[in-house]
Structure 1
């Protein structure tokens, strides 16, 4: 390169630097001189610039333009001549993570066309190279306020005919309904597979979910209320039920004239339970002995009485009563500490489920005191049935692990009378039933 070329290059670089310095001087000048065209007047202002940051709890100003040529300001000026003012609406996404999604809708008066612009679609969704702000000049205060526009987007207002927009909304609703139907069919198929091949826990969850849906269904609720309204209530039975709940004893009939009717056996052992109580009867049929470690003392001490019974129907019925007593005693022992023998005892599932409903509270792993009293009441009533309503409670007290004083209280609460014969305490059930008064029960507790 020659010396001349160096001089030309140096002059060009100086020219660029001088131009750059002149531009910087113009920028630093508050309101630099502007070339005035003939016929125009400009004034120089000394202003204070104020920058505002975007606030999350407030929507910044919206900046929009109409490429179609529609001028809402012109329409607004024609309002005085009788034209309708355009309606402006702004929609914001409710989700917090999508809070910057905005949609502006301008609806001119007397027209079926809306101008719609959004910050998440169309031109505004493209990558933005520049940041946009809105400047507000106050000549009197001498301030220039720079405010960022909403989500740093300029809204392009596209015209949309309302009929087509409605059609789009209907299509969207139709698509949603089809999707809902698809999900429903898929859930129904999953439910069928769960019912056929699912685990016991999953099947129970599905059943509970179906029951909850039925409870929440208004039609089911109306039908249930209608059926309840048609039921004819038996006042006497309702009074007896109230007495059962109040006294915490098994089902009974205070107007009974015979002891078996006072505590009906079919109300204590329900019809569906008898078929699952044949274990003792089956042992006697094959000639096997009843193991003393598998059955309560009360049952083992009365096996001879069972073997001596000649009537097969009475023999089978009495053996079922013994089996039910066994399940009740073992069920209570399974909730007690240190009763290892009861853990291996097998209670039929239908009877075990009934015991859980009667003697346990939902979600509890222990038996409450009032539930234990009710369970003991069931056991004592069955012992009365087994011994002809006059029983020696010595062995059942060992099985229930309660003192003679507590046992006496339970028998009295059932309406029994206690008496000694040959130094042996017997509990007898008279009829009609007579229960101790509340004052007597309170004195006994004290």
Structure 2
């Protein structure tokens, strides 16, 4: 036991004796400024050569001093203060001190920093009152001065504001009606209205024709309102943009026309999971054109589902489509054609230089409509059964009720059914699902299946 203890003790590092440290708390005298600690929430600015410190406040003694720190970078000022919540919001849970330890003497010298807190340095523009509205101070300023301040405010928001703040500012500016841009608005409006009335009389517009035009303007994929079958109502040649016909990778999908080919992890095409399950529908197809059309629809559905799945992650540095394509699992040649159909690019982020693609105003509705149509066309009889419907609802992050409404909007017929398992038994406690079919018997045209357009009654 003794030898074992001795050997183990030799391998262990020698314990260090605790050292006694002398602590000295210093207080600045009336002629000295206390140490100042500050941080910059927008990042350390470049080009600020020096900072000025201003002393103010009432009372006598070092503890009564209030300090304001000012640094200038062009027309932007960085301001911080120890005097209150203007620059350092929130309660103060503790007091900060600056410590210097002398190893030789073993003494730790402490001194309270200015205000007992770390000062927040905010970017500011001279002449602006920093309330929630960021309105310019003073109502007697000239128009030129006001415009200059608004321009400086816009520059400040562009440099340091969030993407949401930039969008809000741009939207507010677009909503401002400027007199100098209107011209003779009254006479212009009268002329336009007169021209519209004349055109309506000349063309013989009726309520039915107006309703037909409104139907044509729905957020639907390319379609033929007179079509009576799924493929005449939504022709795949119109649905899939010509620019990506050659970029959709069909060979791995076409290989499964061989009924003897078994899908494995190695030969599974690079597809969205929902679309990958549809590859089995290729088995046994003898007509090559029919097979190619179905393969295109499967690949196209996969790309659309990837866009929907990654709709909140469409960030790319410098507009690099190859990089974005790899991030969202869509070939860049396909991505650069599909993005403008549903998304719009925001200005580059000032700090990172990244471009964000955001869904357009009706982009989400149009994207889901495309997915609903292609999901129906992929099926041999344009019928989506309840289990497939539940699977698609899961991938789209929509409730069954929401998804069935989206199918109705593209002209599909929907009926509620109980969700059943593989043995055909009803799943206890499961939410009801739906079966969807598109123009099943050819007796009606697509226009007859689309929901009625609601018109507000004249009051």
TM-score normalised per structure 2? 0.39
Between structure 1 and structure 2, the one with the greater Rg is 1
TM-score normalised per structure 1? 0.40
Which one has a larger percent helix, Structure 1 or Structure 2?
1
